[in-house]
Each structure stands twice: as C-alpha cells, then as structure tokens.
C-alpha cells in the first residue's frame, strides 16, 4: 500500500486503479468515499484512508451517497443480483442440485425459489435445473471420453439419479445415447493406436 502522500495524490487524480482497494474518509463530514468520487477533493489534514468499506464504517463514517463506496469493485454488492447467481452456480457445480432441490438451493442463498428462477432467467436465460442438467451431461461426457467406467457408474458419478435419465438427456441433446460416444472413443483409439 502507498504511503499517505501517495494515496492522497491518487485521490487527487481520482485513480481508478485504487477503486475498491482504498477508501477515503473525511473527518469534517463523517463520510467515506471511493477514490474516484466526483466530489471536491478534501484537504489532506481532513482525510483518513481505509482498506475496506467495513473498516471505514467501523470507524464511524457513513457511505457517500454520490459514489456509493459500499458497492465498490471487489465488493459483492457491486455485482448486485449477479453475485447470487454466481454463488448458485458454484453450488450447482459442486452438485447441490444432484443431492437436493431448487427450494433448498434458494434457501441456502437466502432467496425464494421463484426469485432464484427469475435471476437465472435474467442472467443466464436458463433455469437452475437446466444449468444443473447441462453440467451433469458435461461431466458424463468427460468421463465417457476419458475413462472406461461402465455407463451406470458414469451416470452415478455425473449426478444423474439413474442411467435411464442420463440416456434420455444425452438422446435429447445429442440425438444419440451415451454408449454411442463410448463406441466413437474406442473406434478413434483403435484407429490411432
């Protein structure tokens, strides 16, 4: 981190590189800002720098209503509802919908299932279940391509509740069952090896 003079100079320049990295509190107003705030630059003697919005708030400063420092880059609020969708995607990738329901996923995220569905529609044009199915198929395809595991084991490890469901999903998406991919992989290996 820069020394006081370096930080103050960055504040005077409204250096965007430090946006979300440092916060500027003004002792005379009791307000803290982002370094890119369009407000007039305060005198150096009235300024204190903090490394997070939380630290400035803990010191008793209120967020500026102009630059909204609590929504600075690297702060989850900056992404708004996209943050909720990203958290949901991480949980889905880790198999949350393989073991549980959309209702339970929404509960873990602190939103209702209908609101979660709206967020997915807005940000991904797909439902949480559609995303989970796509991820299961991708996992299964990788296992079919890279291993000689039986199709039933591939279905289980990919998060499908049954081999039949995996075969149905493959047939809908690719127009052929997963066993056709296994044959294609074996044929390719025989030709190349």
Here the tokens at position 3 are 């020394």
pLDDT in tens, 126-145: 899 988 988 898 899 889 98
Confidence of residue 189 (pLDDT cuts 50, 70, 90): low
Percent of the chain with pLDDT over 90: 45
pLDDT in tens, 78-136: 566 788 888 898 999 998 998 889 999 999 888 899 999 999 888 888 899 988 988 89
Confidence of residue 192 (pLDDT cuts 50, 70, 90): low
CA distances from 116 to 100, 123, 127, 145, 159 (A): 15, 11, 9, 33, 21
Would the pTM count as exceeding 0.85? no
pLDDT in tens, 28-76: 999 999 999 999 999 999 999 998 887 888 898 988 888 888 766 555 5
Sketch out the chain's domains with CATH numbers. 4-76 (3.40.10.10), 80-181 (1.10.10.60)
Q: Alpha-carbon distance 106 to 49, whole Å?
A: 38
Percent of the chain with pLDDT over 70: 89
Using CA of residue 50, residue 53, residue 58, residue 62, what is the dihedral sign?
A: positive
What is the distance, to the nearest Å, from the Cα of residue 29 to the centroid of all Cα atoms in its chain?
Answer: 36
Q: What are residue 50's DSSP bridge partners?
A: 23
Q: Alpha-carbon distance 39 to 41, whole Å?
A: 6
What integer pLDDT is reported at residue 4 of this predicted model?
93
Here the tokens at position 169 are 């999903």
């Amino acid at each position: 981190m820069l020394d006081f003079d370096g930080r103050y100079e960055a504040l005077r320049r409204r250096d965007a590189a430090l946006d979300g990295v440092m916060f500027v509190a003004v002792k005379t107003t009791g307000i803290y800002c982002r370094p890119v705030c369009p407000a007039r630059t305060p005198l150096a003697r009235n300024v204190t720098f903090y490394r997070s919005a939380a630290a400035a708030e803990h010191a008793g400063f209120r967020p500026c209503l102009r630059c909204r420092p609590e929504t600075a880059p690297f702060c989850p609020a900056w992404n708004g509802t996209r943050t909720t969708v990203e958290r949901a995607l991480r949980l889905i990738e880790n198999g949350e919908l393989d073991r549980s329901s959309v209702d339970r996923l929404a509960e873990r995220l602190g939103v209702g299932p209908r609101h979660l569905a709206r967020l997915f529609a807005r940000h991904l044009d797909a439902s949480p279940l559609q995303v989970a199915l796509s991820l299961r198929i991708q996992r299964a395809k990788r296992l079919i391509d890279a291993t000689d595991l039986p199709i039933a084991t591939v279905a289980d490890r990919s998060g499908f509740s049954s081999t039949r469901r995996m075969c149905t999903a493959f047939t809908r998406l690719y127009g052929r069952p997963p066993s056709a991919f296994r044959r294609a992989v074996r044929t390719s290996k025989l030709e190349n090896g």
